[in-house]
Amino acid sequence: MLGPSSDLDDSTAAERRALDELATESGGEASLDYDLRSTSELVVLMNRFDQTVPDAVLGAADALAETVDAIVDRLRRGGRLVYVGAGSSGRIAELDAAECQSTFSTEPGQVVALQAGGEHATPLEQEAAEDDREAGAAGVRELGVGPLDAVVGVSASGRTPFVLGAVEEASRAGACTAGVVSVGESELGLLADHEISAVVGPEFLAGSTRLKAGSAQKLVLNSISTVSMIRLGKTFGNLMVDVSATNEKLRARVRRIVQTATGASNERVDEALAAAGGSAKVAIVSILAGVDADEAHERLATTSGSIRLALPRRRPSGPRRRGGAWRAHQRDRQRLGERKGNRGSRLRRPAGQRFRRRRPARCRRGGIPPSRRGSARDRGHRVPGDLHHRS
């Protein structure tokens, strides 16, 4: 009769077999002689290994976009984005969550990370805590995760117990869940509503998932947080208009952002920022809309912080593109620029002369084709039918 120790041995053997089958745990022939290679050879070889990472993330673009849309929907309704990870995956998640508040001025607690062992635990303590599935579930309950929240579990293998417990509990609470993994099929992918699988293949050091898998995780989390904030109106074009200016470097960056967005002078930018209390968003709307800081703040409040929606709509500027003469003039300008090597040469019309719109067909007379009537008159030639039309 088999005892408890036999069951434990079977479980350990199954665990080892599962690990052996993971692509991230395998090596290759090229890795057998690392200790015999030169430093330059190792640096080149390692970076060649890393070149597969961006393509692996790009291959998961559709799943990533679906996940971001689901997260944005929760954040717009007042929910939170909660990352969950253990070991290096948890530290990468903590880094991305920490950057959101300074980069996008997110509310405290709007983007958080749940790390196995706690954020104050040592790296060794965090590594040991990843096997506690119930601790992951307890962490989610302690955060009070609910239907308005989105929980993203990060695990290279897709089988970290702490992450599985957290995602399972989040699903039970009605939250939107996602899994970021570096393997094809995983338990985390089956548990979560959305799976982002960036399969990076074998690591430079067999099993060291802080390398390629970690780089892929960082790129995925970069996309999740950055694109979510763009969708929430936290940027204007590619400008970080919601950045928190907490030091001199960031205050200088805010001034550059406002100047780039508005084209205003340094004096005008400083004046607008002073009135806006240092807010790049308010200063930009104030300058571009020609309103004071209070009005700019009210406009942003009614558009959920979107600068684009807070600005008045303007008609496209430039000449009215009507009439054959105007189009012919543009074609001539293009041909002249091509002949002169596209140096921006301009074909100018004589001072005081207006372009003539083509006459209706019933008014045309004479032997010069209508398409050349304007050009002949511009050269000073008499056009048959001119006397007929003069009154």
Identify the active-site residue in 25, 66, 99, 298: 99
In whole angstroms, give the CA distance from residue 94 to residue 332: 60
Identify the active-site residue in 130, 169, 187, 195: 130
Residue 226: phi and psi, rounded to 5, are -70, -50
In whole angstroms, give the CA distance from residue 341 to residue 326: 23
Q: Do you know the residue count of the chain?
A: 391
**CB-count exposure of residue 274 (10 Å: 0-12, 13-18, 19+):** exposed
Contact in structure between 122 and 147 (CB atoms under 8 Å)? no
Active site residue 25: no
Long-range contacts of 202-207 (CB under 8 A, 24+ apart): 202/23, 202/24, 202/26, 202/27, 202/28, 203/24, 203/49, 204/31, 204/45, 204/46, 204/49, 204/50, 205/31, 206/25, 206/26, 206/27, 206/31, 207/24, 207/25
Across the chain, where does the E strand assignment appear?
81-85, 111-115, 150-154, 176-181, 194-197
Active site residue 99: yes
Which residues are identified as catalytic? 99, 130
